[in-house]
Amino acid sequence: MKKIRVLVVDDSSFNRKVISEILESSGKVEVVGRAFDGEDALQKILKLQPDAMTLDLEMPNMDGFAVLRWVMANRPMPVIVVSARESDRSVFKALDLGAADFVVKPTRTASPDLKNMEEELLSKVLAIPALKLDRVRRRVEAQAPRPPAEPPPQAKGSRRAEIVALAASTGGPPALQRILLGLSPQLLSPILICQHMPPVFTRLFAERLAALSGRAVKEAEDGDLLAARTVYVAPGGKQTRLERQGKDLVVRTGPRQPEDRFAPSANHLFRSLAAVAGKNCLVAVLTGMGDDGTEGARAVNAAGGIVVAESESSAVIFGMPREVIKAGAAHHVADLDGIADLVNRHALLDAPSP
C-alpha cells in the first residue's frame, strides 16, 4: 500500500519531531518534510507535493490561517489542524476555511505529554485516503444554506419523531450546521447531537451552533430535562444517554469507560433513545470514519424508530453511514438537505402563526 505523504508544520522543533515520530510509527505514513512557519510551509508544499498536512495555527511570520487559505485556493489537500487547547475557538475558524479535522495538543509547550495524542492523530491521518476533499471544499464554498423548506402536510399520526438525534465525526461540524439551518422554524422536537469532539470544544460548538442557527443550543448537562425547540450537544469526554422519569426525559452524562473508543458515543446515545422513546424517535448517522452509531441504529430500528444514513454523495467520509446501511438498519439514505427534509417531515411541529 502506498504510504500517505505528510508535511508537518509547527513552529516548535520538539513538536515537529514528536508529531513526525507518531506518524511514521504506523508504517503507513511518510513524513516528507517539516516546516517551522507558514512561509516555510508554502515553499515545502510546492517543492515536495505532499498528500496531506498537519498544521499548527499559531506561528510567527505567516500563521496557520493564511496557510489554509492559500492551500485551499491553490493546492488543495487534506489538512489536520494540531492545535493547542488555548486556541480552542480558532479551530472552528480553521474548519470554516477547509481543514478536514483537528487534534488537540495536551500542552502548548514542548512536553512528553504530546505522545498522549498519538492514537487520535494517527486515526485521523490514516483516514485521509477515505476523505473526499471535494466535499470538504464544497461545504466551505456553500456555507450559506438554502432557506428552511416548509414541511409537507402529513397524514394523521405520521409525525411521531418526538426526539431527533444526529451523530457525526470527521466532517461533522459543517454538516450539522447545514442540517440545523435547513430545519423548519416550527420544529418542536428536541434535538441531540453526538459529535466526536474533545472536552471544552463541545461547549464552544454549542455556542457556535446557537449563533449560526438562532436556535436554543446548549452543551448537555447531567439532569437536564429535554425541552421543546432545544438542541443539546453531548459533552466531550463523557457518555450521554436519556432516561425517563415519569413524563419527563432526563439527560444523564457519565464518565468514559476504559473500553469506550469514543466519548461521546452515538451507540450509547442511540441505545438509550430506543429504550425511552421507541418508535417516537428519529436518528441520523452522518460523515465519519468507523462504525460508531451502527449498534445504536440497530436498536432504534428494532424499537420502531426511524433511522437515516447520510448518502455517499455528500459524506466527507462515508464510513459511519456506510456501516449503518450495510447492517440493514437505515430506512432512508439522503444527502444533508434531504436529512433536514426528513426531520421536517417526521418531527413534531408547532402550529403556524395565523
Identified catalytic residue from 40, 51, 292, 341:
292
Candidate list 83, 87, 169, 213, residue with the active-site label: 169
Catalytic (active site) residue 90:
no
Count of beta carbons in the 10 Å neighbourhood of residue 319: 20
* 79 grid coordinates: 489538512
Q: Cell numbers of 286, please? A: 452522518
Q: Is 25 exposed, middle or buried (0-12, 13-18, 19+ CB in 10 A)?
A: exposed
Q: Which of 196, 224, 314, 346 is catalytic?
A: 196
| Residue 246: closest CA among 226, 216, 274 | 226
Type of residue found at 44: K
Whether the link from the prior residue into 352 is cis, omega within 30° of 0, is: no
Question: Strand pairing partners for 161?
Answer: 347
To which residue does cell 515536495 refer? Answer: 48
Cα–Cα separations (whole angstroms), residue 325 to 32, 130, 193, 291: 37, 17, 20, 11
Active site residue 196: yes
Catalytic residues: 169, 196, 292
